Amino acid sequence: MADTTSLPRHVAIIMDGNGRWATSRGLPRSEGHRAGTEAARGIITRCRELGIGHLTLYAFSKENWGRPADEVKFLFDLLVRFLNRELDTLLTQSIRFLVIGEMADLPLAARKVLSHVIAKTARCTEMTLNLALNYSGREEIVRACRRLVGQGVPAGEITQERLAAELYTAGQPDPDLIIRTSGEMRLSGYLLWQSAYSEFAFPDTLWPDFTPAHLDAALADFQGRTRRFGLTGEQIAAVPGSESAS
C-alpha cells in the first residue's frame, strides 16, 4: 500500500465462499476449504507486514455444526494440519494465537493442538490472531452476562465496560473494519457487541480468491472514510490531529 497511515488496529473477516468457489470449478467442497486456508495464510502474513495489531477470522460458527458430518470432520482435520504447519511461522513473526468461542465442544484432536498453539505463542507481542471457532455473538453476550451474575455484580453496577471485560475479546480493541467476502451482506452473528461502530466491506470475491491485494484495496477504502462515532463532521474536524479514518 502507498499509504500505511491510519490503518485499522483490528481487522475482522468473515471468510465466506469456499463452497461456492469449489462448486464453480467442479470440485468437492473440501477443496474450497483447503484453498481457503491458503488465502488465510496470505492475509495473516499481510496484516503482520502492515503492522495491524489484531486480526480475527471467523472459521466455524455454532450453526456450522448443522453441515454434513464428513464436511465438519474435514474442517477440523484441516485446522489441525494448518496449525501444526504454521506454528513455527507464528512464533517467527511473533503472532499470539487465541480462540474466541466454546472450545470445550470441539473434537479432542483440535482442542489439543489449539491449546498447544495458544500456550506456545502466549509471549508473542507483534500481532494477535483470533480464530472464531464454535462461535456465536449472541451466546458470547449471554455468557458475559452470566459471568457477571456469577460474580455477584449488582444490576446497577453492570456497565458496558464491565460487560466488555467478560467477552472473549477482552483487552483487545473492537474491530475497526469487518470484511465479509463473497458479496453476502450480513454479520451472521459475528462480533455483535464489538461491531457497534465498525466499518464494513463486502467484496464480491470468494474467500479462496481473496488476496493481499484485495485486502489492501479494502484498507485503502477504509482510510478514505470518516468515522464520526455519533458526532458531527465539524466536531471530528475540530479534534487536533484527527484524520479521516481515525
Q: How far apart are alpha carbons 213 and 87 in whole angstroms?
A: 24
3-state SS class at 153: coil
3-state SS class at 6: coil
| Cβ-contact 193, 168 below 8 angstroms | no
Q: How far apart are alpha carbons 190 and 31 in whole angstroms?
A: 25
Q: How far apart are alpha carbons 34 and 31 in whole angstroms?
A: 5
Give the count of beta carbons closer than 10 Å to the beta carbon of residue 121. Answer: 20
Exposed / middle / buried, residue 161 (Cβ in 10 Å: 0-12, 13-18, 19+): exposed
Among the listed residues 16, 18, 130, 174, the single catalytic one is 16
| Cβ-contact 136, 62 below 8 angstroms | yes
Strand order across the 177-180 sheet: 95-100, 127-135, 54-61, 10-14, 177-180, 199-201
16 is a catalytic site residue: yes
64 is a catalytic site residue: yes
| Placement of cell 483470533 in the chain | 130
| Cβ-contact 138, 167 below 8 angstroms | no
Among the listed residues 18, 64, 105, 130, the single catalytic one is 64
Residues recognised as catalytic: 16, 64
